[in-house]
Amino acid sequence: MRILSAMILLLLFPSCAGDIPRTDVIFISIASSYGTEGSLNYLENPPGDQRALSEQLTYISSRKKIPFKEYLFLEDNGRMSISGDERPWGRKEILSLLENLESEDNDLIIFHYSGHGDSNGSMIMPDGTRLNPDDLLYRLRRARGMKCAFIDSCYSGRYVNGGSTLVNGEIFYEGQLVSESFANALIPSLKLFFTVSEPSHWNTWVLSAATSSQLSYDSWDEGLDRQSEFGAFTYYLLKAFGYRMDTGTPALPEGRLTFYTIYDTIKSTMSETLWRRATPQATLTPVDLVLF
Amino acid sequence: MKHLLFMTFLALAPLYAVAWTPSASLSVFWEGNIHGIGIDSTRSTMASVAAAVEASIPALSTGPHRFSLPFHFIYTSQSMPIHRIQRLSSLEAGTGFEYSYRIRRIEIGGALTASIRWYELAEAAEWIIGGRLHASFRILPYAMITLPLWIAGGRSGISIRAGAGISMQFGGSV
């Protein structure tokens, strides 16, 4: 009986979580509407995506007394600005920021993109330049700190492919998710076990709005509060961060926010129809990134 | 036909229990992951708590030697955050091949195991290949205190589990 009690105590005792270091949170966001309404490639919702995400992260950081910095690259109806200063920007300015970012090892860098993506997954800047996945991921990984990227664009799964050490059993047919189960994961997981690859250094987690062969959607209206005001994926991302859609205001999320709790929340709240057509892809590792 | 098979199974079950004397155990572990986890070039150890339920079917038992087929189910909790990262909780199921040597009240042995580990929050799977050593001490005619040590590895790195548990044998005495 004593032995059983000791075993139960041992199981319960270390369940307490440690404190998160109070280091900086750095938010880098890129959002483009590509001209004015009526323009060929016009997107209505990216500026609203950036605004709401910035509000939510600023609010959480303020309430939790965490130092917060942000760099907002915005093109809204033809007007370009960087953190409110009206000036042009493109691929060069974003890469320069990432290369010269002043951050420490324990800082959290949250990268966000809402805009067009081409068939290679490259982000299309409003000045016509393109930022391809390899260039972005290379500079993001080199920046000091823990990094988390949320990419809401077509073919954005390109930023996640090849970055996983686990398998989640997804099967696609003609671009749509048709099956997802533990049983599907068995054989690919076994094959992956015997594949030699570079050792992983887990400091960058990416969540994309779609696979590398799917489109994402500027809006998706199923009648939910304010759903048509945000990108289809970003709507659920904001809710996962705790943003209140009924009032359109930021709020503190319940419990601890980690990369995989956000992924899990999006998965459990997104409609099945949208999930099958634009299936969010996550870097799959056994290690989770604690955000707040 | 189904009834006939079911009745046959019921009739043979006691014979199976007496002839094969299967065993089961419940253990609690400390688990540490010491390889494959990097913060840039830094290796860090993440500690979790795990609980395991194991069942073992003896394949051959002769004198002090016992060869058996172990099956295990292990739940591992998430670790405490270190530098903003923490190990996800997981559920693992597997089997293997075990040899043990028993003399008087003591049994020592080892096993090679293959299992699949499922990380619930990431909803993703990983194959794990590993080995287990154990030392057990009889405390009751049908029960032993067992001290297992596991080392296992997969794509995500190597984990080590050290713990303690109780093993029960069904039919006969240990």
pLDDT digits (tens, 9 = 90+) for A213-270: 999 999 998 889 899 999 999 999 999 999 999 999 999 998 899 999 999 999 999 9
Q: Say if residue B40's pLDDT is above 50.
A: no
Burial class, B8, CB count within 10 angstroms (exposed 0-12 / middle 13-18 / buried 19+): exposed
Could you identify the residue written with the tokens 């997107």? Answer: A43
In this structure, the number of other CB atoms found within 10 A of the CB of residue B163 comes to: 20
ipTM of the complex: 0.84
In this predicted structure, what is the pLDDT of residue A242? 96
Distance (Å) from the alpha carbon of B150 to chain A's nearest alpha carbon: 18
Look at residue B4 in the predicted model and tell me its pLDDT: 52
DSSP H helix total and E strand total for chain B: 1, 11
B40 to A168: CB separation less than 8 angstroms, yes or no: no
Residues of chain A contacting B88 with CB distance shorter than 8 Å: 260, 286-288
Q: Which of B126, B145, B158 is the best substitution to test chain A (most A C-beta atoms within 10 A)? A: B126
- Domains of chain A by residue range: 21-164+201-282, 166-199
Which of B28, B77, B140, B155 to probe by mutation at the A interface, max A CB count within 10 Å? B155
- Asked if A20 has any chain B CB less than 8 Å from its own CB, the reply is yes
A to B CB pairs, distance under 8 Å = 141
Distance from CA of B171 to the nearest CA of A (A): 22
What is the model's pLDDT at position A159?
94
Asked whether the predicted pLDDT for residue B85 surpasses 90, the reply is no
Condensed to tens digits (0 to 9), the pLDDT of residues B10-22 reads 544 444 443 445 6
Closest CB to A185 among B33, B124, B166: B124
Residues of A whose CB is below 8 A from B166: 3-4
What's residue B51's pLDDT? 86
> CB contact, 8 Å: A182 with chain B?
yes
- CA A104 to chain B, closest CA, distance in angstroms equals 11
- Per residue in B65-100, is it b (16+ CB within 10 Å) or e — as a string? ebebebbbebbbbbbbbbbbbbbbbbebebebebeb
In the CATH hierarchy, which fold is given to the domain comprising B21-169? Answer: Porin (2.40.160)
Instruction: Name the β-bridge partners of B167.
Output: B25, B144
> According to the model, what pLDDT value does residue A87 have?
94
- Which residues of chain B lie closer than 8 angstroms to A182, CB-CB? 118, 125
CB atoms within 10 A of CB B32: 16
Interface of A with B in 194-223 (CB under 8 A): 199-203
What pLDDT score was predicted for residue A17? 42
**pLDDT digit string, tens, across residues A157-187:** 999 977 688 999 999 999 899 999 999 999 9
Closest C-alpha to A239, from A281, A210, A269: A269
Confidence at residue B7, expressed as pLDDT on a 0 to 100 scale: 54
Taking CA atoms, A252 is separated from A16, A69, A255, in Å, by 21, 18, 9
Residue located via tokens 């030697």? B65
In a mutational test of the A interface, the residue from B40, B42, B85, B136 whose CB has the highest number of chain A CBs within 10 Å is: B85
Q: Give the integer Cα–Cα distance in Å for B156 and B88.
A: 12
**Closest residue to A167, CB basis, from B38, B124, B129:** B124
Chain B residues with CB under 8 Å of A160 CB are none
Residues in A 118-147 with any Cβ partner in B closer than 8 A: 146
pLDDT of residue A121: 92
Q: Which two tokens stand for residue A210?
A: 């779609």
**Confidence class of residue B117 from pLDDT cuts 50, 70 and 90?**
very high
> What mean pLDDT is predicted for residues A85-114?
93
Instruction: Specify the pTM.
Output: 0.86
pLDDT above 50: residue A16: no
pLDDT (0 to 100) of residue A20: 57
Any idea where the domains of chain B sit in the sequence? 21-169
Residue A4 has pLDDT above 50, yes or no: no
The CATH topology of domain A21-164+201-282 is Rossmann fold (3.40.50)
Integer Cα distance of B117 and A33 in angstroms: 44
Q: Above 50 in pLDDT, residue A80? A: yes
Contact A105 B40 (CB under 8 A): yes
Residue from the list B77, B119, B129 with its beta carbon closest to the beta carbon of A166: B119
Which residue bears the tokens 């823990």? A146
* Structure confidence at residue A201 as a pLDDT band (50, 70, 90): low
Interface touch B85/A182, C-beta < 8 Å: no
From B116, B129, B166, residue closest to A3, measured CB to CB: B166
A11, A106, A168 member nearest B124 (Cβ): A168
Average pLDDT, chain B: 79
The share of chain A scoring above pLDDT 70, in percent, equals 90
- Whether B123 has a pLDDT exceeding 60, the answer reads yes
- Two tokens, residue B149: 């040590």
